Amino acid sequence: MTSTLPVRPPRTPAEWAAYYALRYAVLRQPWQQPPGSERVPADDEPGTVHALLLADETAEPPVALAVGMLQPTGNGQGQIRFMAVAPEAAGQGLGREVVAYLEAQARAAGLAEVVLHSREAAVGFYEKLGYAVVEPSHLLFGVIPHFLMQKQL
Ligand SMILES: CC(C)(COP(=O)(O)OP(=O)(O)OC[C@H]1O[C@@H](n2cnc3c(N)ncnc32)[C@H](O)[C@@H]1OP(=O)(O)O)[C@@H](O)C(=O)NCCC(=O)NCCS
């Protein structure tokens, strides 16, 4: 599955549903987390940027191939969270496109630095995009080591 569509925020209730469904499928369901665990209060805060890459503009219901979120965290810094690419669409540059969109939005908002907590398996992905490991961070669900990573814009 590929997409040549632009990355943009979800617009309709059905697109929001597709957005959160991909988050849940990739980042929560495999660890038996309950529905709803894919959402956080920051999702609805002003300044938060949501990025969605659809498979097709006309599909009903919409199908999300890649998603990500940028949360301003103060002092000129933003945090990328909830990056997820559908397994069947991985390795095709979609994750890179979502990060590039979020970084462009961060620059437009005047942010100077982006940080994120990467799963151990995704550290190489973020390194390819110019992020550097700062230090080990938390253990998610008791089993997934994370690393704090950072990039100056
Ligand atoms: C990690 C993830 C976001 C990467 O997205 P993707 O669309 O598959 O990645 P891209 O195709 O844009 O890859 C960009 C570059 O990173 C590399 N890359 C991708 N995933 C990688 C990984 N896990 N480790 C090392 N390098 C990786 C690609 O080879 C590519 O390099 P290239 O430009 O030299 O060809 C995606 O695979 C995913 O959602 N994984 C499961 C959930 C997850 O771990 N999310 C991150 C939570 S912190």
**Residue found by looking up tokens 């660890």 in the block:** 31
Run of H or E residues at 23:
helix 13-23
- Tell me the DSSP string of 92-148: SSHHHHHHHHHHHHHHHTT--EEEEEEEGGGHHHHHHTT-EEEEEEEEETTTEEEEE
Centre of ligand 1 to C-alpha 84, Å, is 9
pLDDT at 37 over 90: yes
Q: What is the CATH number of domain 13-112?
A: 3.40.630.30
Q: 116 falls in which pLDDT band (50, 70, 90)?
A: very high
Q: What is the mean pLDDT of residues 126-136?
A: 97
The residue nearest atom 21 of ligand 1, judged by CA position, is 125
Mutate to test the pocket of ligand 1, among 24, 69, 126, 128 (most ligand atoms within 8 A of CB): 128
Centre of ligand 1 to C-alpha 35, Å, is 25
For the CA of 121, the closest atom of ligand 1 is 23
**Rounded Cα gap, residues 11 and 30, in angstroms:** 27
